[in-house]
Structure 1
Amino acid sequence: MIDHRHARRIKLLQKLFARTFIPASNLQGNLNQSVNKPELELEPNTLDQIMAQLPEIDELIAGAAPERPIKDMNKLDLAVLRLIVFESRMKKTPIKVLINEAVELAKEFGSDSSPRLVNGVLGTIFEL
């Protein structure tokens, strides 16, 4: 059985990733076609909150990975990083738990190198 927090992060990760390619006005309709509404228990403004903080979040990510500019980063890896950095600002979940979740999301959806990159960038951001 999947943890409900993990499932929520997956849905938000999908939205963040889709936001890279789909204009915001089309995003909600496209995602609702493939997701049952009861499964999508995200706060309606979570994506908007992330997007509002994106410049600050991206600055942290860029500072932690100077050899890999944001524009060249794998879009899924970037979505994972953005999600976890945003969630860390809410201070509801311990950082080590968030990093572990990020690595699991990267393993599940990213490339072979994604978990290592995500772990390294987040470790630098949070100085662990």
Structure 2
Amino acid sequence: MNRKKSREVAMKIIFEGTFNSRPIEEIMEEADFFNEDLDTNTLDMNFIKKIVTGINENIEAINGIIEENSDNWKLNRISKINLAILKVAIYEMVFSEDTPEPVAINEAVELSKQYSDDKSVSFINAVLDRIYKSKG
């Protein structure tokens, strides 16, 4: 099972949810839409579901954590893709014990390199680093 690709799919589902009024469960059922070029046998569907469901259940707390640690940036000023990346990483860092925090940060930075710009990479790294340091 490829957790890196599974995490990417979870991020895409969260991203899709920001534009869609359908329940997140429906979006998750169509997750293979995002994986046309992937062998779905390599995905950890339980891991994807755990992340997406966990974010959905803890969205208010996760949004609060983002606002507290993003130098007075309001959520509506942060790009939707960066929010999706942050939500996945923060869920893993704060609400899940499956992923070591440095791994969650590194994976988020790698996703931002792939889906965002250089300034966003720095922003995401800084926000997650603040969260990590405040916990420890």
Fold shared by both chains (TM-score > 0.5): yes
Category of TM-score, reference length = shorter chain:
0.7 to 0.9
CA spacing shift, 1:124–1:21, aligned 2, 3 Å: same
With normalisation by structure 2, the TM-score equals 0.81
| AA in 2 matched with 1:49 | G
With normalisation by structure 1, the TM-score equals 0.85
The aligned counterpart of 1:23 is 21
Mapping of residues 33-72 of structure 1, within 5 Å? 33-35=33-35, 37-43=40-46, 44-72=49-77
The alpha carbon displacement at 1:48 in A equals 2.3
The aligned counterpart of 1:6 is 4
- Equivalent residue for 2:119, pick from 83, 105, 113: 113
The alpha carbon displacement at 1:77 in A equals 0.7
The aligned counterpart of 2:101 is 95
CA spacing shift, 1:34–1:76, aligned 2, 3 Å: closer
CA spacing shift, 1:21–1:40, aligned 2, 3 Å: farther
The alpha carbon displacement at 1:35 in A equals 2.7
**Structure 1 segments of 4 or more deviating over 6 A?**
none
Where do 5+ consecutive residues of structure 2 fail to align?
A: none
Identity of aligned residues (%): 25
Deviations 1:20-48 (A, max 9, x none): 00123452455333436434432245422
